[in-house]
């Protein structure tokens, strides 16, 4: 099962990382948080908005519809 880990970095701040079901880390927070609640809040925001997110490849918005494949102009 995929999951988010909340952890403390070497500076003592909180960060998150997202692990795929196979355990690979596939995303990490770009900012540090002073409090774990702030970190968790951004994780919840990410979870809520990810299903509607688009993938922007070379400036072209692409939907996350797995039934289609998008290739850029150089493909």
Looking at residue 65, what is its pLDDT? 65
Domain-embedded: residue 56 = no
Q: How far is Cα 69 from Cα 62, in angstroms, rounded to an integer?
A: 9
CATH number for the domain that contains residue 12: 3.30.160.160
Domain-embedded: residue 53 = no
Q: How far is Cα 49 from Cα 46, in angstroms, rounded to an integer?
A: 5
Looking at residue 66, what is its pLDDT? 59
Predicted TM-score (pTM) above 0.75: no
Domain-embedded: residue 75 = no
Sheet holding 3-8, edge to edge: 3-8, 14-19, 25-28
Residues 15 and 38: beta-carbon distance below 8 Å: no
State how many domains the chain has. 1
Domain that holds residue 29: 1-47
Q: Which parts of the chain have pLDDT scores under 50?
A: 70, 72-75
Looking at residue 47, what is its pLDDT? 95
């Amino acid at each position: 099962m995929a999951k988010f880990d909340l952890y403390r970095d070497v500076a003592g701040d909180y960060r998150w990382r997202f692990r795929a079901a196979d355990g690979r880390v596939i995303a990490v927070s770009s900012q540090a948080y002073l409090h774990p609640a702030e970190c968790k809040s951004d994780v919840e925001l990410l979870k809520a908005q990810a299903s509607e997110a688009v993938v922007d490849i070379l400036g072209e918005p692409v939907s996350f519809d797995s039934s289609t494949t998008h290739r850029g102009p150089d493909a």
